[in-house]
Structure 1
C-alpha cells in the first residue's frame, strides 16, 4: 500500500474594498498542496487530500478509517480543526479526539509527518496549539509554548548535517526558504537539516511507527519558488515518506 492522507494546505481570504462612501466585498479560495501532491504522485503514491474547510467533518474519526493510510501528513492545519468536529462544536455531541487517534495509529505502526506553516506546530500567535498535545508526544521535537515563527525575509539556505537515507543523493546545501517554525529535537530525534543551529528536518520513532517534522513550508510563502522548483524537491519528499513507511 502506498496511500497517503494529507490534511490542511488551504485558506480563504475575505476582502473589504472601500471606495469613498461605498464598500464592497470579495472572497478568494486558495490551496498550497499542489507541489507536494504532484511530487508524491510522480513517486507513485496515492494522495487523498482533505483541505482545511472540510477537515473538521471529513478527517477520519476511527482507527479503521485512518489505518487504510500508511502515512498521515498535517500541513498548515491547526489543532482546533481536528478537535472540534461539527457534531461536538455545534451540537455538543461527544466525538473521538483525533489527535489521540493519530497517536494510536502511529503507536501501532503508522507513520506521521507534520509540515510547517502559520498553522503548524504552535504557529502564528500560538493558535495552532499542538504544544503538550498527542502530536507533540509522537513527534521527535519539543515545541515552543509561544508563537514559534521565525521570519527570514532576506532568505535562508539550510544545510544537511547528517548522512541519512532520507537525504541520499541530495546536495547538502538547500535552496532558499523564507521562514520556519522554531522547535528543538527531543531525545528520540535525529536532526538531518539545520539553519543557524535550528533543526529543520527531524526524524524519529514512536511505538511501532515513525514520525518526522519539517519546520518550513512545502509551498509559498516560506517555500520559495526556488524551493518548490528545486530538482530535488520531489526526491526529498518521496524519500522522506519512503523512510517513514520503512521502505528505505
Structure 2
C-alpha cells in the first residue's frame, strides 16, 4: 500500500532589520510530519517528493505513477508541475505532469487533493488548478481567484453522509480555514464546513478522486485536529476507498 505525497515543503527568506543594518537568512521546511506518521502507523508506505524536487523526482510515465495506490497533491501550485526548468528556462517541450496524473487516474489510479494556500485556486489564485487537466477530475468546481476562507474563530466540520471513505468518529474538531469550492452534480459530498465541501469523492474513468479542502497540517489544521483520534483513520479510510478503484 503506497502513497505518493507531492508538495508540503517551502523555503522562507527572512530580512532582519536592526536600525541602519540588515541581514538575511533562509529556512527550509518539510510539512506534514503528523500526516506521514499517522498514515505509516496504519500500514501505508509514504514516499514524499517535496515541491522543489517535483521536476526531477516525480515519475514521468503512467507506469511509474501506477506503482502507487494513490497520489496526493498538497499545498503546491500547478506551475510547479507545468513550468519545469527545461520548459521555463530553455523552452524545451516536456512532459505535462498534471496531464500525466490525469491519465494515471483515468486508467485506474487514485488522486487526493488536500487544501492549503497553494491548492485548488489558492492565495491570490496562484495555485491556478482551475484550467489544468486536474480540474476535470476533481469532484468539485474550482473558483477563479483567491478561494481561501479564513476562519480564525474555528469552524466545525459536519458529516452529512455516511461513507466507507470516512472514519467512524462523527465529532470532528474545528479547522481554521479551507479552500472554497462548489460540488459538481455527480459528486458525493461527505463532510461540509459552512455548507461548503470539506470532503467530497467521485470517479474519473476507471479511477477514483477525492478532495479534503482544509489543510493536513497547521495552520488551518490546529493542534486539536492533529491530535484527534480520527485523524489517522481519516486518511486511512480515504486511501482505502480511493485505491479500491471501480
Output the TM-score relative to the length of structure 1: 0.96
Give 3-state SS (helix, strand or coil) of 2:124's partner.
helix
Give 3-state SS (helix, strand or coil) of 2:135's partner.
helix
Cα distance in 2 for residues equivalent to 1:87 and 1:247: 34
Contact 2:108 2:245 survives alignment (8 Å): no
Matched residue, 1:88: 87
Shift of 1:57: 2.1
Contact 1:52 1:81 survives alignment (8 Å): yes
Instruction: Select between 84-93 and 237-246 the one with higher mean Cα deviation.
Output: 84-93
Shift of 1:196: 1.5
Distance 1:168 1:33, change over 3 A: closer
Matched residue, 1:238: 236
Cα distance in 1 for residues equivalent to 2:242 and 2:145: 29
Give 3-state SS (helix, strand or coil) of 1:91's partner.
coil
Cα distance in 2 for residues equivalent to 1:29 and 1:147: 25
Cα distance in 2 for residues equivalent to 1:11 and 1:18: 23
Q: Does 1:147 align with 2:152?
A: no
Matched residue, 1:227: 225
Matched residue, 1:46: 45
Q: Structure 2, unaligned stretches of length 5 or more?
A: none
Q: Does 1:99 align with 2:98?
A: yes
Matched residue, 2:176: 178
Matched residue, 1:117: 116
Matched residue, 1:129: 128
Instruction: Select between 188-197 and 162-171 the one with higher mean Cα deviation.
Output: 162-171
Cα distance in 2 for residues equivalent to 1:96 and 1:110: 18
Shift of 1:168: 4.5
State the superposition RMSD in angstroms.
1.3
Residue by residue over 1:35-88, the C-alpha shift from the partner in whole angstroms, topping out at 9 and shown as x without a partner, is 111111111111110011111222222112111111000000100000112211
Matched residue, 1:190: 188
Shift of 1:181: 0.1
Cα distance in 1 for residues equivalent to 2:53 and 2:122: 20
Cα distance in 2 for residues equivalent to 1:153 and 1:168: 25
Contact 1:191 1:199 survives alignment (8 Å): yes
Contact 1:170 1:236 survives alignment (8 Å): no
Shift of 1:167: 2.1
Cα distance in 2 for residues equivalent to 1:160 and 1:242: 19
Contact 2:173 2:224 survives alignment (8 Å): yes
Matched residue, 1:21: 20
Residue by residue over 1:80-123, the C-alpha shift from the partner in whole angstroms, topping out at 9 and shown as x without a partner, is 00011221122221111111111100000000000000000000
Distance 1:168 1:49, change over 3 A: closer
Matched residue, 1:199: 197
Q: Structure 1, unaligned stretches of length 5 or more?
A: none
Give 3-state SS (helix, strand or coil) of 1:56's partner.
helix
Shift of 1:247: 8.1
Distance 1:78 1:97, change over 3 A: same
